[in-house]
Amino acid sequence: MKIKKQRVSPRQKMINLMYVLLMAMLALNVSSDVLNGFTLVDESLSKSSANAGKQNETLYKTFGEHMIQNPEKVREWYNRASEVKNLSDSICSLAERLKERIAQKADGEEGNPHNLKNREDLEAATYVMLAPRTGEGHTLYEAITGYREKMLSMVEDQAHKDLIESSLTTDIPRRDISLLKNWEEYHFENMPAIAAITLLTKIQNDVRYVEGEMLHILAKNIDMGDVRVNQIRALVIPTSKNVVRGGDFTAQIILAAVDSTQKPQIFIDDKLLETENGEYAARCDRSGDYTLDGYMLVNNGSGEQTRYDFLQEYTVVEPSATVSASLMNVLYAGFQNPISISAPGVASNRISASISKGSGTIKSDGKGGYIVIPTKIGEEIKIGVTARNEEGRSQSMGEYSFRVRQLPDPMPLIEYKDKDGNTQRYRGGKPFSKQSLMSTNGIVAAIDDGLLNIGFKVLSFETVFYDNMGNAVPLISQGADFSPRQKEMFRNLGRGKRFYISHVRAIGPDNVERLLPTALEVIIN
């Protein structure tokens, strides 16, 4: 059915044309009230930026004073503050130069961005910022981006990072009109000259604000290592309160809030301790409780000596050692069991260990621990510990027994990569992504219970599918990888379908082959 078009009279056509022309004129016209508003905002931002600059200069002056007082402590943060200043001044100078160019393009060579006459000019900002080859909009964009990234690299706290990101963002609002524009086109294309100058003033203000935040953050680091106290105490810091008989008791005697320009005199039992750094040592030949008693003499500001007493108790114990299995309280035959061995008051490099003959091997792991490989299941092995004192004399620290068991059976698992690229293990019993299933090569077997994490080599396994009639369809794979036939079955599985992985044969680090008693249920998501 045809639709009959209504005839439009010449008079109506003329009215429509005038309406379109009027709308176009309104779109191009910027009222003087709006332009006045931009001028007021620009003046306010300029004042705010100037005030922030003055406050920042005060902080720079404080950095300089601290640098003179304590250059060793302040130098790193002073240098960073100087770098912040140079970068901030550079980007603010760039923005100021662009404002001057826009004003000169709009008003002529005598144009002044602080007294703009042709405020509504739509060509000045477009020419200065977006003209081919000479436009500086992208230069400004890269300057803001580089400044932001440099400031972020100096900050560790996430809250401060978020503040810097939001203050110096170069993201474009997600509106239809801006989807095809870059940052400089969005902000400066066909923009009235006064609006473009106001935007550049805002960028200067944002930079000065971030500059101030950075200076406050850096200033905190100057006092980070300081401890503010309202009293002074003499302290004794022993290397250990427990000393093995035959060893040495060592301690450092210091004064809290120490003045590095003078060293206190230390007296033990009214005898002056001849030491450069306050270290004290005494031979301990008998077990029991002992006390280190003495005092310090320190010169105060008036040159008079002040006395500070100190008292430290310590205990001398009989030789002993601690041996513990790092994984659990048993050792597994044929497996490299990591263990740790320690002895009070003895450094790890002066401890050695041995194992009862014929029961296995023990060796250092090169990291201060040991690896024990037992050979006989169901028997006990004994680990002997020997310590060597500073004089080179060896001393037995005891002998410790462990029972040996066979490694438990592992579980069949499917390893896959999550969306972040991290390796995960599917244990069954819950929906599993078909995409993850198709991206993996096969299965693994491992003891993975939060305490043990021991991998096994898969020799073969079976997958069991069920057709529409409920009939089981078993498929066997030789090795750990899925066979092509199994992969084909995966592709045909729909959401909510499931299959089972069973009859898994695997061999562990103990070289014992076993048939796993558990099956893995896989539910397709």
Contacts of 262 (CB under 8 A, 6+ apart): 298, 299
Question: What is residue 26's predicted lDDT score, i.e. its pLDDT?
Answer: 38
Q: Which amino acid, residue 153?
A: S
Beta-bridged to residue 431, according to DSSP, are 523
CA 190 to chain centre: 43
* Closest C-alpha to 320, from 380, 245, 262: 245
DSSP secondary structure string, 155-182? ---HHHHHHHHHHT--PPP--GGGTT--
Looking up tokens 């805002």 gives: 202
Domain 322-405: give its CATH code: 2.60.40.60
Indicate whether this model's pTM tops 0.85: no
Provide the token pair at 504: 């898994």
Question: How far is 244 from 316, CA to CA, in rounded Å?
Answer: 6
Question: How far is 465 from 494, CA to CA, in rounded Å?
Answer: 12
Provide the token pair at 457: 């080599």
Beta strand 370-374 with 360-364: parallel, antiparallel or unpaired? antiparallel
Provide the token pair at 274: 């001849």
Total residues belonging to the chain: 525
Q: Are 349 and 386 in contact (CB under 8 A)?
A: no
Question: What is residue 145's predicted lDDT score, i.e. its pLDDT?
Answer: 94
How many CB atoms neighbour CB 415 within 10 A? 15
Q: Which residues of the chain have pLDDT under 70?
A: 1-31, 33-34, 174-179, 223-233, 235, 238-247, 255-262, 299-304, 317-328, 345, 390-391
Looking up tokens 């490299």 gives: 336
Question: What is residue 242's predicted lDDT score, i.e. its pLDDT?
Answer: 54
* Closest C-alpha to 190, from 20, 28, 37: 28
| CATH fit for domain 234-317, picks 3.30.830.10, 1.10.3470.10, 2.60.40.10, 3.40.1280.10 | 2.60.40.10
Question: How far is 88 from 59, CA to CA, in rounded Å?
Answer: 14
CA atoms lying within 13 Å on the CB side of residue 130: 17
Q: What is the CA radius of gyration of the chain?
A: 39
CA distances 474 to 462, 491, 503, Å, are 7, 16, 11
Question: How far is 413 from 485, CA to CA, in rounded Å?
Answer: 20
Question: What is residue 260's predicted lDDT score, i.e. its pLDDT?
Answer: 57
Question: What is residue 328's predicted lDDT score, i.e. its pLDDT?
Answer: 59
Question: What is residue 178's predicted lDDT score, i.e. its pLDDT?
Answer: 52
Looking up tokens 């620290």 gives: 397
Q: Integer distance in angstroms from the first to the last C-alpha of the chain?
A: 51
The beta strand positions in 467-497, using DSSP E, are 472-478
Question: How far is 252 from 487, CA to CA, in rounded Å?
Answer: 68
Question: What is residue 414's predicted lDDT score, i.e. its pLDDT?
Answer: 95
Question: What is residue 505's predicted lDDT score, i.e. its pLDDT?
Answer: 97
Contacts of 92 (CB under 8 A, 6+ apart): 49, 204, 207, 208
